[in-house]
Amino acid sequence: MDVGLNSGQLALRDSVRDVLRAECPPGVARQAMTDPERWRTIWKTVVGLGWTELAAPANGGDGSFGRVDLAVVLEECGAAIAPIPLLSSIGLAAGVLRVAGSAVDDLLSAIGGGAVAALAAHPPGCRLPGVTMALQGGRLHGRAVAVAGLPRAELIVTLASSADGPVAAVVRVGDGVAAHAVECTDPAQPVADVEIDTEPVVVAPVDVESALATPLLAAAADLVGVADAALASSVEHAKSRHQFGKPIGAFQGIKHALADNYVALERARGLTYAAAARLDDHATTPAAGWTAAALAKAAAADAAVGCARTGVQVHGALGQTWEHDMHLYLRHAWQGASTLGDSRALYHAVGRRAAGGAR
């Protein structure tokens, strides 16, 4: 199985990286924390460059985008902590719609064209994502918490129970959709709780595991990027900051902590690319796909939070200041780690299945 990036994917990664370096240095995330409109200029660039078209797999041909391409782009956006709803739109919301059949083709095209969408998949009081709403008599109703990107979204994708089994349901933000913005850890990526009682735009039957696999993978890719960027910042600081007459990176206490960060990062990256390849393989069962994506998300959250926390430690007092970027990585990592299942909950779910516990 291919678990590395081919030359086309490496070129894609480099071009995304170059654009973000020029247009979206980490300071933009700091500005977005206090300026709710700051994301729009970056978003315009991103849509103009066609990155949102990764929302939908192209129909055959050599130019078709798979989930590995999706992961590559989201990883770079994570590394740039770009304060845009790309993950929520093309990774989370469109991730569910990918497996919802042809009924959602128009919606995927709209998201591909830049319409912002959010995924409501956290039932209140649950650590793991799942079915949050109910569809009865053509009306969708229910509540979901911690919906990433909702304050910027015009579409909400959600999972609902129905008389005919689980469905993906899409609603337009408007009447019958009450969003309650929350003061979140990472204000550059605003989050809201939502209460829905309205008629959905589209309903399509889905397998819940398959529906959640791509969102988990997408969240993993974003967090791998955060881990990479936080570690890179720590390494630079460890090389340039001198104490006791030498760079602090010469001390094993620092060196080994950063080496462990690197292991965590590559562990997560390996799982993420492998999960992407697995989900693109039609022979993969829903359970195997969900497991691969869940482990990638858990590992990526561990890596991102680990690298950012170590980053604060390595930077000392500097890492605790508003002006230094490390708290931006840490906020993004903490917020991403808690959505779609924290790593302990995901490991537990996978371990329980593997041990033959209740499914």
Partner 1 sequence: MTTSDVVAEYAAWLTDFLPDDYYDRYREYRWDMDLRRDHQRAAFEAGWLQPTWPREHGGRSLGLADAMEIRLEGATRSAPKMPNIAGPNVVAPGLRQFGTPEQIERLLVPLLRGDEWWALGMSEPEAGSDFAGLRTRAVRDGDVFRVKGRKIWTTQAHLSRWCTLYARTDPDAPKHHGISCLILDLESPGVTIEPIRMASISDETFCEVILDDVEVPVANLLGPCNGGWQVALSSLNHERQMIWIMNWVEIQRGLDAVRGSETAHDDDASGEVFTELGSLLADAEALRATGYRSLYNELAGRPSPEADILKLLGSLTLQRVWELAAATAGPRSIDDADLLFERQDALAATIYGGTSEIQRNIIAERLLGLPKG
Q: Rule CB under 8 A: which of 28-87 touch partner 1?
A: none
Nearer to partner 1, 244 or 322 (CB): 244
What is the x/- site pattern for partner 1, positions 80-119, by CB under 8 A?
Answer: ----------------------------------------
Nearer to partner 1, 10 or 178 (CB): 10
Nearer to partner 1, 163 or 354 (CB): 354
Q: Rule CB under 8 A: which of 193-232 touch partner 1?
A: 231
Distance CA 55, CA 78 (A): 17
Residue with tokens 């797999």: 57
Strand partners of residue 178:
195
Please report how close the Cβ of residue 306 comes to partner 1 at its closest, in angstroms.
13
Query: Which listed residue (33, 241, 251, 286) binds partner 1 by CB under 8 A?
Result: 251
Query: Which listed residue (40, 44, 139, 255) binds partner 1 by CB under 8 A?
Result: 255
- Six-digit token pair at 105? 């083709």
Distance CA 352, CA 359 (A): 8
Distance CA 282, CA 291 (A): 15
Tell me: does residue 359 bind partner 1 (CB under 8 A): no
Tell me: does residue 163 bind partner 1 (CB under 8 A): no
Q: Rule CB under 8 A: which of 267-306 touch partner 1?
A: 267-271, 273-274, 292, 295, 298-299
Distance CA 318, CA 348 (A): 36
Strand partners of residue 196:
142, 177
Residue 4: half-sphere exposure toward Cβ, Cα within 13 Å: 2
Please report how close the Cβ of residue 345 comes to partner 1 at its closest, in angstroms.
8
Stretch that binds partner 1, among 58-66, 95-103, 209-217, 235-243 (CB under 8 A): 235-243
**Which region holds residue 298: left if phi is over 0, alpha if psi is between -120 and 50, else beta?**
alpha
| Sign of the CA dihedral running 157, 298, 192, 162 | positive
Identity of the residue numbered 46: V
Q: Which of 302, 311, 189 is nearest to 238 (CA)?
A: 311
Stretch that binds partner 1, among 53-61, 105-113, 115-123, 252-260 (CB under 8 A): 252-260
Helix ranges (H only) for the chain are 7-23, 27-34, 39-48, 67-79, 86, 94-97, 105-112, 208-240, 252-280, 286-315, 326-338, 343-354
Query: Which listed residue (125, 137, 356, 359) binds partner 1 by CB under 8 A?
Result: 356
Query: Which listed residue (266, 281, 286, 334) binds partner 1 by CB under 8 A?
Result: 266
Nearer to partner 1, 39 or 329 (CB): 329
Please report how close the Cβ of residue 349 comes to partner 1 at its closest, in angstroms.
7
Cβ within 8 Å of residue 105, ≥6 positions away? 56
| Site size with partner 1, rule: CB under 8 A | 48
CB 257 within 8 A of CB 239: no
Please report how close the Cβ of residue 272 comes to partner 1 at its closest, in angstroms.
9
Please report how close the Cβ of residue 326 comes to partner 1 at its closest, in angstroms.
17
Nearer to partner 1, 49 or 259 (CB): 259
Q: Which of 114, 119, 109 is nearest to 169 (CA)?
A: 119
What pairing do the DSSP bridges indicate for beta strands 177-181 and 191-198? antiparallel
Tell me: does residue 128 bind partner 1 (CB under 8 A): no
Residues that bind partner 1 (CB under 8 A): 1-4, 7, 231, 235, 238-239, 246-247, 249-252, 254-256, 258-260, 262-263, 266-271, 273-274, 292, 295, 298-299, 343-344, 346-352, 354-357
